[in-house]
Structures are given as C-alpha cells and as structure tokens.
C-alpha cells in the first residue's frame, strides 16, 4: 500500500499491513515530507517482491509517478488505484481502466462491432 496516513492506517486496522523480521514494511505512508524518489523506490520494491500480490496506491500518489504506473505491465502484483479522503477518484487517470477500455475498443473494431 502506498497512500496517505489515514488510508494506510485504515487498511492496517483491517489487517493488510506487515512488518517482517528485518523491520521491512509492505506499505509507505505518503505525507508532505515524502519525496517522489521515495515513492518511486517503494513502488519499484513492492512490484518486485514475491510476497505482494496487489499494490494498492492512492490515485493522487500514482499521479506523482504516473510514468512508472503506466509502464508497469506485469499481471502480478496487480496495481489497484484507490481514492483517498482528500482526493476523489478520477477514472480518466486510472491506467488499468484505460487499458481495459483500449482493449475492448480494439476488440470491437477488430470484430466489426462498435
């Protein structure tokens, strides 16, 4: 999970968070002091770890590293963009939704349907 404190804490209370023996977490709390480099590093780390199947990222945080999110193309871990308390979800910026729409529009054109 990569999101603001309220979102991360909510998911931690639901049991999503983990801290291993090396004190490594499976989440990053993004605040005003968090750099884009830290977000990029966390995204790269979480998408290469074998113990993570889904990376949930607040959409406004994903927009900060949009080039990384849009270029990610592996099925596992899946990337799930979620809303946060202060930033509403905008489907126009969701990379997965854009790929699905593109896939269906391509299939419709190829099969002659519109």
- pLDDT of 29: 94
Taking the C-alpha atoms of residue 78 and residue 33, their distance in angstroms, rounded to an integer, is 27
**pLDDT at 109 exceeding the cut of 50:** no
Question: 69 or 108, which is more confident?
Answer: 69
For the residues 76-82, what does the mean pLDDT come to? 91
**pLDDT at 106 exceeding the cut of 70:** no
Question: 103 or 111, which is more confident?
Answer: 103
- pLDDT of 18: 83
**pLDDT at 54 exceeding the cut of 50:** yes
Q: Model-level pTM? A: 0.77
- pLDDT of 86: 80
- pLDDT of 13: 92
Question: 26 or 98, which is more confident?
Answer: 26
- pLDDT of 112: 56
């Amino acid at each position: 999970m990569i999101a603001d404190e309220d979102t991360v804490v909510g998911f931690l209370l639901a049991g999503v968070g983990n801290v291993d023996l090396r004190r490594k977490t499976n989440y990053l709390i993004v605040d005003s002091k968090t750099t884009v480099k830290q977000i990029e590093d966390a995204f790269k780390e979480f998408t290469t770890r074998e113990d993570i199947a889904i990376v949930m990222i607040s959409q406004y945080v994903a927009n900060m590293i949009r080039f990384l999110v849009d270029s990610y193309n592996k099925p596992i871990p899946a990337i799930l963009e979620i809303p946060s308390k202060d930033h509403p979800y905008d489907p126009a910026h969701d990379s997965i939704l854009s790929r699905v729409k593109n896939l269906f529009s391509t299939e419709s054109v190829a099969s002659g349907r519109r």
